[in-house]
Chain A
């Protein structure tokens, strides 16, 4: 899968999600290969240094900003796949949501890595990721760590909107 990752991500980024049956099959197949018990365990232990994000960092870079559009798709697939697995070892819905937020946080690190040169694609991707958080209801206000993650998003949004008219505001 690793050797085909670049081609798969490019395919996912170029096709529209509902464009064809073949598109859906290829996406699903990639999701099946990417997200399994091992990858969930790695992401749970150290999301940023997991094999999945190592691969993503290699392919989603400033030279390929169009691949940023795949991050919301990956997060939605990750969240649904994790929920579809039977609970094991005392894991719960709360754990699954917390894991999804770890995935979100690691995606944010990727966005920062791409930098300001492609800020439009970065913001489109950020919006997509937040919509996944909303649609999949993975945020819990009782989890302080995830609240901190999303409050950083608020700060980034305010800095962006304040920057359009100059250098005022607190």
Chain B
């Protein structure tokens, strides 16, 4: 829930020290910060958009490690995973100071989504997720990601409808309102991209070998259903917006490509996972995607990379 709290603009130095204080408090007794860890993690992606982001990254990394360590010791990793996914929610730029596009690189580079943290999370998953937690964790991660996708898709449809297309009656909206809507869609797209990174790490690191075959089959079924369901929809939405993009339909091609790239990456990583060994079945989406990237010059670079990766893998 968003609420305006007491705002005092503090210096960057103070914020860095505040995060250091949280690390000390965690080391004193992690239970002191445990209830607030969700809020703390939620501040990190945005805090790191500020000018001293690099200096803040060090204590933020330490806090993430401390929280991960606590949940491995207490065998409560799913709690930490869902807090990380919740922390992916990106505030629309109209309640912060930078546009989502301008902040995009910073969000991607924030500590929770860095390679070092995701590697630590992966190692912890392989060792400390208990057999009883494996199936529920897989299902819940997919449910959360699907929810984020559906919210993005609904926002996108609403913006398109407000612009005069789609199922809703055409109506004019003010330019400010339209921009707000597009920023909401962009925020939703980046939220999906960040959450997909956590989901990828979790789903490709589940210790399936520790659970009975019947449970393994349930996990793989859940993953396959998602891959052929909402993940496929997200990929095809990217194809659609790229190939038949109209400058006047109100849709945000950038946000949709961010989502499609993340969905492609997720699908690719699931298919390639030697650890989990998911079989997603053949899909013929990639021909359209390859055609799209050949036709469009201003394609989001990472989207192009993901299309090429997926196509290369498909041909292999």
Contact = CB atoms under 8 A, between A and B. Distances in A.
Mutual binders A and B? yes
Interface of A: 116, 119-120, 122-124, 126-127, 130-131, 133-134, 139, 141, 147, 150-151, 153-170
A168 B40 CA distance: 13
Given A130-B28, A168-B91, A170-B39, A157 B22 contact: yes
B102 interface: no
Contacts of B32: 147, 150-151, 154
B97 interface: yes
Contacts of B13: 120, 123
Closest 3 CB pairs of A and B: A160-B18, A165-B46, A123-B17
13 contacts: A123-B14, A123-B17, A127-B24, A131-B24, A147-B32, A158-B22, A158-B39, A160-B18, A163-B15, A167-B5, A167-B95, A170-B1, A170-B3
A80 B19 CA distance: 27
Contact of A166 (B21, B27, B28, B97): B97
Contacts of A154: 22, 25, 32-33, 36
Contacts of B28: 130, 133-134, 139, 150
Chain B contact surface mostly: helix
B27 A134 contact: yes
B7 A166 contact: yes
Chain A contact surface mostly: helix
Nearest to B36: A154
B40 A169 contact: no
B96 interface: yes
Contacts of B7: 163, 166-167
A103 to B, nearest CB: 16
Interface in B22-57: 22, 24-25, 27-29, 31-33, 36, 39-40, 42-43, 46-47, 49-50
Interface residues of B, number: 42
Given A154-B22, A170-B5, A127 B12 contact: no
Contacts of A157: 18-19, 21-22, 25, 40
A123 B231 CA distance: 45
Contacts of A170: 1-3, 5, 39
B284 interface: no
Nearest to A139: B28
B312 interface: no
B246 interface: no
Given A153-B21, A161-B18, A170-B3, A141 B9 contact: no
Given A150-B25, A158-B40, A170-B1, A164 B10 contact: yes
Contacts of B8: 116, 119, 163
Nearest to B49: A165
B20 interface: yes
A120 B8 CA distance: 13
A134 to B, nearest CB: 5
A45 B291 CA distance: 79
Contact of A165 (B2, B11, B25, B97): B97
Contacts of A147: 32
Nearest to A162: B43
B162 to A, nearest CB: 24
Contacts of B22: 154, 157-158, 161
B4 interface: yes
A123 B10 CA distance: 11
B171 interface: no
Contacts of A162: 5, 39, 43, 47
A122 B13 CA distance: 11
Contact of B50 (A151, A155, A159, A164): A164
B43 A169 contact: yes
Given A147-B32, A158-B43, A153 B25 contact: yes
A119 B11 contact: yes
B6 interface: yes
B2 A141 contact: no
A143 B8 CA distance: 32
Contacts of B17: 120, 123-124, 126-127
B19 to A, nearest CB: 6
